[in-house]
Amino acid sequence: MLRLEDVTILQDDFSLRAGLEVARGARVAVIGPSGAGKSTLLGAVAGFVPVAQGRILWAGAEMTGQSPAMRPISVLFQDNNLFPHLSAFDNVALGLRPSLRLGVAERAQVAAALARVGLEGLGTRRPAQLSGGQQSRVALARVVLQGKPLVLLDEPFSALGPALKVEMLHLVAEICRETGATLLMVTHDIADARAIADQTILVADGVAEGPFETAQLLANPPEALRAYLG
Ligand SMILES: Nc1ncnc2c1ncn2[C@@H]1O[C@H](COP(=O)(O)OP(=O)(O)OP(=O)(O)O)[C@@H](O)[C@H]1O
């Protein structure tokens, strides 16, 4: 379980409070108005944003104050975090060995992760030689390879067309189901939440609340969400 205990995050004059629990294996959308603090919340869980007060725990172990690399977390951002000068294979392999010195078994693991996301045979291409959707798959293969129990997505597929985005979201959901990973996904698109997240955290007015059942939340939205949905 991911647990945020009376957490307060401060960034200059912005503050966000969060006290919530996400069950292991849940797929949770994070929605709310622009600037409400969705990315900040994910950043605090990942360890990129410091917590002013409170504790963050995974499976009962405190990770507040741990460096991002020490946390049991994979993060996928909007820009995919691919290195343009490296092949797809090496971009994925970085998730395992930053030195890129891989043994035979590790090379096989990278190849398997590429195959899992449908990129078999494309490992030698650099990002510029791949389509936008394929680039997203490379970034996702790195997440697969890392095999971390908590996966954070911050609008990772928003540059893709709607059909491709849905395809990628379903692939993410499928992978999380297979591995049992818990997913937190920031999105501006309610359809994304409906598509793959049974639960939704609402970030608005300085507070992160939930998770709520997505269908129920959307059927009967509170005032802050109504204003956002328009
Ligand atoms: N490094 C920073 N220093 C100070 N303030 C910041 C910093 N990063 C973000 N903020 C502020 O924190 C608030 C929350 O930003 P955040 O990016 O988390 O919102 P968001 O809900 O993800 O927005 P969007 O949907 O537009 O991406 C905003 O008011 C923003 O200006």
| Residues constituting the chain | 230
Query: 30 CA distance to ligand 1 centroid (A)?
Result: 14
User: pLDDT value at position 84?
Assistant: 94
pLDDT tens digits, one per residue of 114-126: 999 999 999 999 9
Q: Is the pLDDT of residue 32 over 70?
A: yes
Atom 30, ligand 1: which residue's CA is nearest?
35
Mean pLDDT of the 104-130 span: 95
Ligand 1 atom closest to Cα of residue 188? 25
- Rg of the chain, C-alpha, whole Å: 18
Q: How confident is the model at residue 80 (pLDDT cuts 50, 70, 90)?
A: low
Phi and psi torsions of 11, nearest 5°:
-135, 105
Q: Is the pLDDT of residue 85 over 80?
A: yes
Buried b (16+ CB within 10 A) or exposed e, 88-109: bbbbbbbbbeeeeebeeeeeeb
Atom 31, ligand 1: which residue's CA is nearest?
35
Ligand 1 atom closest to Cα of residue 40? 18
Query: 135 CA distance to ligand 1 centroid (A)?
Result: 26
Q: How confident is the model at residue 78 (pLDDT cuts 50, 70, 90)?
A: confident
Q: Model-level pTM?
A: 0.91
Pocket of ligand 1 (CB under 6 A): 11-12, 14, 32, 34-40
Atom 7, ligand 1: which residue's CA is nearest?
11
Query: 39 CA distance to ligand 1 centroid (A)?
Result: 7
Mean pLDDT of the 52-62 span: 96
Strands 27-31 and 53-58: unpaired
How does DSSP classify residue 188? S
pLDDT tens digits, one per residue of 149-197: 999 999 888 888 888 888 889 999 999 999 999 999 999 888 888 888 9
